[in-house]
A and B are shown apart, each in its own frame.
Chain A
């Protein structure tokens, strides 16, 4: 007999599971619009030039492999904070923040979730937008918190349900935790406009909520790192001491290197030191200290002026290609003769697009056309190319006409 007879087979991970099903498919026209990894116009993974250059510099330096400190590579965490906050940020210059290196976005979110579970005693409730990234819920749950939701996406218009969001947020009990996507909302691609962000900031301030920003796409959304961080910076300027998780998976293409960061804006530098000490106590029994490779690449890019400039151009290039695919998809749908309103495809921003397709339609796309996406109708626009956008439009039209 076995200890594990009662262990159930876990359900396949909805997001990463899509890629695995795609790999098994033998249809030559297959498209993987599942996991959010950028592809170039040939449908190939794209290693940024600035990344290759940084790697060459690293190889030439012949450094040792000694353990990083628990909080990670200092040059990386400082540059990461500056990227999020802006070099002129009062919070950055005063040092009233702590940034620790995390295992990309997931690991950074998890550190934050564990920190909240241990130190945020006012509430166990985390309010997520409806919908949110599928992994948010299990991350917070495994950390020991409870999940609630606020209205966000309006399926009727495929855009932001702003009045619904404001209404729900106005009723959130004080001192609860609210999670906001800083830019390029995943999975919908629907972001608030700046005027709407201002109202959201005023509301969360009024309700005295702890704001947790998930910023996984800085630079990747609009092509402009400052514009994409606008909401985070605005909230801080309004006196809201936010906490933020950052990822370099998409904006630097460092997916498998797991480069990310978790940041807490504090009252002062002294508080930041105390927070940092507690974050380290959380990290050590998880994995002791973080992996160097990705953080070092990111650090070199952020801290070397030429490479930073090159990076900004390359991330804009990726964002621009995605924006152009959105445009082409809509025009192709019109050419197919679709009578539906597909404006949301170009209104939305970032890697993902909430097509509005229903589960049955998604099922047909997978089975009949070998076009893979998650059941919620989310497509990764990065998986669309000028070579396959016509096929995609055709297939979508077939299942929606």
Chain B
């Protein structure tokens, strides 16, 4: 599973998290009572605020709702269950759901298990040019049946690390508006991708400013390092407060039969952090530490490959963003890396940048060089 590693190859509990956990442990007024069905109110409000921005008009007008969920997966699942029941008619399992090719492999299962019968892919990764296949993507959206649901990665696309530029997002939004397509954002890496929360939320906020009703499944696993506490949030953006209230009331029913109410520990940590200006600043700093390390590993890997004269172009390593990189290695080359060099990457050529350290950069670069020159 994808998790951040330090330069020593170790897991990293964020300093701000350690601090807040100590505060929680020392607070004898806290107990283990049930949270409300939709979760800890301070968590929900702050989590959505992080995604949409402090000055979001949607928040000011109360057009938003939040459902605390078990990680990003849980948020996706609750959103999917809701859409299957209430979107595009009642219990319309035939509404097409479009998932990028490739995508996180669990996306498919989430929507299948939620009851959708027609899951399709949309063009995304162009293997030849090692970048976004924008034209293919726009064509697919242009041809998609009206009202189809599109799963969009808010930033740091998993597994390719390739995101649309703001200009490309604008084109995507224009088509989706024209075709009445529903945007369901998966935001698992806000802050972790570029180091800036606002920059990583640009796409979601742009869609909100364009008047879309949308869902955004947020994960705090990576940007808070709270993997095993299962902290997530489904942000619902609607057209008015009344609609959102009714949506939330139906979300409650779905939550009640799935997990009743969400776990409190992780939500408390996040809520405490986000609602204190000082802790919030510390957190942003911790997030930037992680993002910067990944960015450094990217630039160091690229420069080594270019120095070695490894055949091919390697700018995609630094143009891609987030935890993963689609190296462009083919399955045979990947097999070489695994068997001969003991470097583990996915058959797709996806590498977890967090696995790189200053100690192993040379070895990894040389190994990639060998794989590319020896194996075609």
Return B239 CB to nearest CB of chain A, in Å.
4
Interface size on A, residues (CB 8 A): 59
Is B259 part of the binding interface, using a Cβ–Cβ cutoff of 8 Å?
yes
Chain B, residues 235-246, CB within 8 Å of chain A (1/0): the string is: 000111001111
* Stretch of A281-289, A315-323, A374-382 lying at the B interface: A281-289
For B11, list chain A residues within 8 Å (CB).
64-66
For B221, list chain A residues within 8 Å (CB).
67
What separation, in Å, do the CA atoms of A284 and B256 have in the docked complex?
19
Which of A47, A135, A142 interacts with B31 by CB under 8 Å?
Answer: A47
What separation, in Å, do the CA atoms of A142 and B259 have in the docked complex?
12
Is B143 part of the binding interface, using a Cβ–Cβ cutoff of 8 Å?
no
What separation, in Å, do the CA atoms of A13 and B349 have in the docked complex?
48
B260 touches A135 (CB 8 A): yes
- Given contacts A16-B37, A257-B263, A290 and B230 within 8 Å (CB-CB): yes
Return A98 CB to nearest CB of chain B, in Å.
20
Return A54 CB to nearest CB of chain B, in Å.
12
What separation, in Å, do the CA atoms of A119 and B357 have in the docked complex?
45
Return B307 CB to nearest CB of chain A, in Å.
35
* Stretch of A3-11, A268-276, A305-313 lying at the B interface: A3-11
Chain B, residues 11-47, CB within 8 Å of chain A (1/0): the string is: 1110001100110010000011111110000000000
A103 touches B70 (CB 8 A): yes
Is B250 part of the binding interface, using a Cβ–Cβ cutoff of 8 Å?
yes
- Given contacts A8-B246, A257-B264, A110 and B240 within 8 Å (CB-CB): no
Which of B17, B70, B87, B247 interacts with A287 by CB under 8 Å?
Answer: B70
- Given contacts A284-B109, A293-B229, A139 and B257 within 8 Å (CB-CB): yes
- 8 A Cβ contacts from B202-254 to A: 213, 221, 225-230, 238-240, 243-247, 249-250, 252-254
A293 touches B25 (CB 8 A): no
Is B71 part of the binding interface, using a Cβ–Cβ cutoff of 8 Å?
yes
A10 touches B249 (CB 8 A): yes
For B247, list chain A residues within 8 Å (CB).
4, 7
Chain B, residues 102-137, CB within 8 Å of chain A (1/0): the string is: 000010011011000000000000000000000000
Is A116 part of the binding interface, using a Cβ–Cβ cutoff of 8 Å?
no
B260 touches A107 (CB 8 A): yes
For A27, list chain B residues within 8 Å (CB).
none
A257 touches B265 (CB 8 A): yes
For B244, list chain A residues within 8 Å (CB).
4
Is B262 part of the binding interface, using a Cβ–Cβ cutoff of 8 Å?
yes
For A107, list chain B residues within 8 Å (CB).
258-260
Return A116 CB to nearest CB of chain B, in Å.
14
Interface size on B, residues (CB 8 A): 66
A291 touches B228 (CB 8 A): yes
For B243, list chain A residues within 8 Å (CB).
2, 4-5, 7
B106 touches A7 (CB 8 A): no
Which of A16, A66, A287 interacts with B77 by CB under 8 Å?
Answer: A287
- 8 A Cβ contacts from A124-170 to B: 135, 138-139, 141-143
A285 touches B110 (CB 8 A): yes
A254 touches B73 (CB 8 A): no
A59 touches B22 (CB 8 A): yes
What separation, in Å, do the CA atoms of A392 and B341 have in the docked complex?
74
B228 touches A256 (CB 8 A): no
- Given contacts A7-B86, A13-B37, A68 and B228 within 8 Å (CB-CB): yes
For B253, list chain A residues within 8 Å (CB).
10, 13, 138
A8 touches B250 (CB 8 A): yes
A51 touches B258 (CB 8 A): no
- Given contacts A256-B33, A256-B261, A291 and B70 within 8 Å (CB-CB): yes
Is A100 part of the binding interface, using a Cβ–Cβ cutoff of 8 Å?
no
Return A18 CB to nearest CB of chain B, in Å.
12
Chain A residue nearest to B267 (CB atoms) is: A256
B260 touches A7 (CB 8 A): no
Chain A, residues 164-207, CB within 8 Å of chain B (1/0): the string is: 00000000000000000000000000000000000000000000
Is A80 part of the binding interface, using a Cβ–Cβ cutoff of 8 Å?
no
B109 touches A285 (CB 8 A): yes
Which of A37, A65, A256, A281 interacts with B264 by CB under 8 Å?
Answer: A256
For A139, list chain B residues within 8 Å (CB).
257
Chain B residue nearest to A35 (CB atoms) is: B34
Is A292 part of the binding interface, using a Cβ–Cβ cutoff of 8 Å?
yes
For B263, list chain A residues within 8 Å (CB).
103, 256-258, 291, 293-294
Is A115 part of the binding interface, using a Cβ–Cβ cutoff of 8 Å?
no
Chain A residue nearest to B213 (CB atoms) is: A3
For A56, list chain B residues within 8 Å (CB).
25
For B34, list chain A residues within 8 Å (CB).
16, 35, 37, 249, 255-256
B240 touches A2 (CB 8 A): yes
B230 touches A291 (CB 8 A): yes
- Given contacts A13-B252, A285-B106, A288-B73, A67 and B259 within 8 Å (CB-CB): no
B226 touches A106 (CB 8 A): no
For A292, list chain B residues within 8 Å (CB).
228-229
What separation, in Å, do the CA atoms of A284 and B76 have in the docked complex?
12
Return A119 CB to nearest CB of chain B, in Å.
14
For B249, list chain A residues within 8 Å (CB).
9-10
A288 touches B32 (CB 8 A): no
Is A104 part of the binding interface, using a Cβ–Cβ cutoff of 8 Å?
yes
What separation, in Å, do the CA atoms of A20 and B252 have in the docked complex?
14
Is B266 part of the binding interface, using a Cβ–Cβ cutoff of 8 Å?
yes
- Given contacts A65-B13, A291-B228, A142 and B257 within 8 Å (CB-CB): yes
- 8 A Cβ contacts from A1-32 to B: 1-10, 13, 16, 20
Return A161 CB to nearest CB of chain B, in Å.
28
Which of B22, B106, B259 interacts with A288 by CB under 8 Å?
Answer: B106
Return B17 CB to nearest CB of chain A, in Å.
8
Is A337 part of the binding interface, using a Cβ–Cβ cutoff of 8 Å?
no
Is A223 part of the binding interface, using a Cβ–Cβ cutoff of 8 Å?
no
Which of B106, B252, B254, B261 interacts with A284 by CB under 8 Å?
Answer: B106
- Given contacts A4-B86, A8-B250, A66 and B258 within 8 Å (CB-CB): no
| Known A10-B253, A103-B260; further 18 A-B contacts with Cβ < 8 A | A4-B213, A13-B37, A37-B34, A45-B31, A45-B32, A62-B18, A64-B12, A65-B13, A65-B229, A105-B260, A106-B260, A135-B260, A138-B256, A255-B32, A286-B73, A287-B230, A287-B259, A291-B229
Give 5 CB contacts A-B under 8 Å: A59-B25, A62-B13, A66-B227, A257-B263, A281-B109
Residues of chain A having any CB pair with chain B under 8 Å: 1-10, 13, 16, 20, 35, 37, 45, 47, 51, 55-56, 59, 62, 64-68, 103-107, 110, 135, 138-139, 141-143, 249, 253-258, 281-282, 284-294
What 8 A-B pairs have minimum CB-CB distances, sorted nearest first? Answer: A287-B70, A10-B249, A285-B109, A106-B260, A256-B264, A103-B259, A64-B11, A292-B228
